[in-house]
Chain A
Amino acid sequence: MSVSDLTPLSSPAGAQVRAVHDEFHGDLLEVSMGPHHPSTHGVFRMIVTLDGETIVKLKPVFGYLHRNHEKLGENTTYLASMPYTDRLDYLNSMTNNWAYAVAVEKLAGLAVPERAEYVRVILAEMTRLLNHTCLAGFLMQDCGCMGTPLMYAFREREKILDLFEALSGSRMMCNYQRFGGCRVDPSPEWIAGVRQLVEAYGPFLDEFEALLSGNEIIMARTQGVGRLAPELAVSAGVTGPVLRATGVAHDLRKVDAYGVYPKFDFRVPLGDHGDTYDRYMIRILEMRESISILRQALAALPGGPIMDPKAKLRGFRPKAGEAYGRIEGPKGEIGFYLISDGGPNPYRYRVRPPSFINLTILEDMCLGHTVADAVIILGSVDIVLGEVDR
């Protein structure tokens, strides 16, 4: 199944539900979950209307973390926006940087040296490992595990963050990519560190899966919960693992074949049910593919410059025009749309955040399920509020 095979489907959400105050049936219970609820993954708020414990209506509310990101982008130079992109999806600053760099490189017609492309792939796949590991941990926390999977996940995350820090100077706000390459050249010791991490990651995943994937309660809690139809997913513009869990083969690494991805041999796992368990398992399987990409990239990492010598960072003024650069981030398609009028700042700066667009189908997935399910469905969508609110 690919995107073009599917006919659009209108959303079942928004259908008439019974009034909150109903003298005949009794009142429904309106609960405001968030913005300081322990499992809304940040300052997200859901106003859920409950019939017993069943959700009959769910209204997402966001904007608590709005900080004028796009307007800031229009008032700063191209380069000065790079650190701001770290703050979008603060778990995955490396892929945010890359997507923004791709957009600017397209706009200015810059070439990227091959070594930089390889380093970008290595960092992006490390970010994918980081994001999916954290997500699996958070999801299990939402399922009611007393922090054990989360602690295991964070132990691994720490190792990746240490490597990010060694390379870029910062654990989470990396600000590492530049237009036409990367900021610093990774040292051989750093590459050895990544190699060590990659070799240890498979056993960690085995351990994690042995604890959780076959767990009877996890399967009962997540299988058949929060089903998403592929038609609805496509018409809502959902991307990333959430889309692939519904069985739609849409991975920008294959579709766009950007960077040096065509050189690597990897597969795209697909789910058949589109439920929470599929969304969890797709991420685990994607991590295994990422490990294989990392192995190949580390083996084939070429020498040479890390920056295009012709790239000029200061006084950077791309000629007038527009460009949209996108990559497959861990959460889905992360894209930046830029219009240049020839000045030092973009005339228009727009972010396509995967979290925000994936979140739009939340009510459709939650209707008819219980409060407990809504929490894990939200967890399986994988949102970061820095990106949703911008």
Chain B
Amino acid sequence: MSAAPMVVSPAPLLERLPLDLRDAVLGLLPESLRWLASGLITILVLLAVFGLLFAYLTLAERKLLGRVQNRPGPNRTGWFGLLQPFADAVKALTKEDVVPRAADQVLHYLAPVVLVALSLMGFAVIPFGRLLVPVELDAAVLYFFAAGAATELAVFMAGWASRNKYSLLAAMRALAQLISYELPLLLSFVPVIMLAGTLSTTGIVAAQDGWRFGFIPHWHILTPWGFAGFVIFMIAAFAESNRSPFDLPEAESELIAGHLTEYSGFKYALFFMAEYFGMCALSAMAVTLFLGGWRAPLPFLEFIPSYLWFGLKLITLLVGFIWVRATMPRLRIDQLTRLAWKFLVPLSLINLGTAAFWSLTTTWTGPLYLARWAVALAIVIIPFVTLGRQLSAGNGPRTYRYAS
């Protein structure tokens, strides 16, 4: 939201509504306080919206997991369990906060706070709608991933400070995972920056403007390099947000609760909040980088306010996160690092080449246009198949014999 309180925009009423509401509130305040109040309102709205999204995401996750697993999920608190998140919050707040005597008291306390703070920072630069950008930053993408990478340090803090062997193992895993997955995560969107020519998130959304043949949007995911980048980005995002199948630091069946073993009460809830915030932030970034940000998927749907489209895309990705969690087993730490270094990093490097080819051949038309697609697809698919084969070499379905 730009600093100037009164924006004269040609946008329709619904599109302008959040800004108009803010301006109405600001109008009640004296002129000298407006700049401060504007910033605070933005922060409060972000906290409220994503706080509520977090609350109902936990419910949605439990409901969806229940649906997949043949059970109803929470349905006792309110209609369809709609009050469950609040019941959980009350429970978390009233629980005793146990800190192990041997733990590093300061770090143990600090870890969840730092984690939540860092995972919230990413939201500042996401363009949630045509007019809704909390902070306009030139190096927005860089800032976002710097804040995101720092969350893993908080996980390490939690693991180290708990003075528990399971937590320590989890901390070790968290760092190994951070080092492995930060690289493919960053490399996967470098093509986007190359082609958009900017690190600003608004600039990246602006680069996905317009329609091919009048109805196919110019989203990055609808190009060969963009699709490959999106897939790599999402895999790395699963690892970055410690979600199944990469929930190794928290591996319940191996490390009890990993870095969360010695946490209870509200601190435990904070860790969960941070996990969901991280998931939301990374999904929001994926929407911005690859899925056209707040843009509508078809020209005639543009009358729907942009922030609703953004929300819809965000929720689709979040449901994807939950669905994968319901179906996938967990990888082992060495397999996880192998997947990162031997598969995702080479693929994302090759993807840079694909993107370069794509940007050099923008002038190709007619049959050359088809050739452009064919070549780009080949550069994406052939390494994917060969590297994938190598990765799972030696493993495969088996046939069994029977005793005579």
Binding site for B on A (CB under 8 A): 29-31, 37-39, 50, 52-53, 140-148, 151-152, 155, 211, 213-221, 223-224, 249, 251, 254, 267-273, 277-278, 281-282, 285, 370-373, 375
Contacts and interface: CB of A to CB of B under 8 A. Distances in A.
Most chain B beta-carbon contacts within 10 A, residue among A38, A141, A152, A269 = A38
Given A31-B166, A270-B401, A372 B329 contact: no
15 contacts: A37-B256, A38-B252, A53-B172, A53-B333, A145-B328, A148-B65, A151-B70, A152-B70, A215-B328, A217-B331, A269-B400, A269-B403, A271-B400, A281-B398, A370-B333
Given A37-B256, A251-B403, A270-B403, A145 B329 contact: yes
Given A215-B329, A216-B392, A270-B400, A144 B245 contact: yes
A371 B165 contact: no
B400 A285 contact: yes
A371 B401 contact: no
Given A144-B247, A249-B403, A29 B328 contact: no
B402 interface: yes
Nearest to A249: B403
B91 interface: no
A372 B251 contact: yes
B366 interface: no
Contact of A268 (B169, B247, B252, B403): B403
A214 B398 CA distance: 9
Contacts of A282: 400
Nearest to A369: B332
Task: Determine chain A's interface SS by DSSP, over half rule.
Answer: mixed
B254 A375 contact: yes
B161 to A, nearest CB: 17
Contacts of A50: 169
Nearest to B255: A371
B71 interface: yes
Interface of B: 65, 68-71, 165-166, 168-169, 172-173, 244-245, 247, 251-256, 325-335, 392, 394-398, 400-404
Nearest to A144: B330
B241 to A, nearest CB: 15
A373 B334 CA distance: 11
A141 to B, nearest CB: 6
Contacts of B169: 29, 31, 50, 53, 371
A267 B327 CA distance: 32
A199 to B, nearest CB: 20
A13 to B, nearest CB: 21
Q: Which 9 A-B pairs rank lowest in CB-CB distance, beginning with the nearest?
A: A144-B330, A249-B403, A151-B69, A268-B403, A267-B402, A143-B329, A39-B253, A219-B395, A144-B329
A281 B400 contact: yes
A134 B333 CA distance: 27
A323 B173 CA distance: 54
B332 A372 contact: yes
Nearest to A213: B397
A37 B256 CA distance: 6
A52 B172 CA distance: 9
Nearest to B338: A220
Contacts of B247: 144
Contact of B392 (A37, A140, A219, A251): A219
Contacts of A145: 327-330
A221 B332 contact: yes
Nearest to B339: A220
A269 B402 contact: yes
A217 B332 CA distance: 9
A214 to B, nearest CB: 6
Given A31-B165, A372-B251, A218 B329 contact: yes
Nearest to B325: A146
Contacts of B400: 269-272, 281-282, 285
A370 B334 contact: yes
Contacts of B397: 213-214, 219
A126 B395 CA distance: 32
Contacts of B71: 151
Contacts of B398: 272-273, 277-278, 281
A257 to B, nearest CB: 14
B324 to A, nearest CB: 10
A152 to B, nearest CB: 7
Contacts of A224: 394-395
A146 B244 contact: yes
Contacts of A211: 327
Given A152-B70, A373-B332, A141 B253 contact: yes
B395 A148 contact: no
Contacts of B70: 151-152, 155
Nearest to B335: A220
A138 to B, nearest CB: 10
Nearest to A143: B329
Nearest to B165: A31
Given A143-B329, A281-B400, A220 B244 contact: no
Given A30-B165, A145-B330, 8 more contacts: A31-B166, A38-B253, A53-B169, A145-B328, A145-B329, A146-B325, A148-B69, A270-B400
Contacts of B173: 53
Contacts of B69: 147-148, 151-152
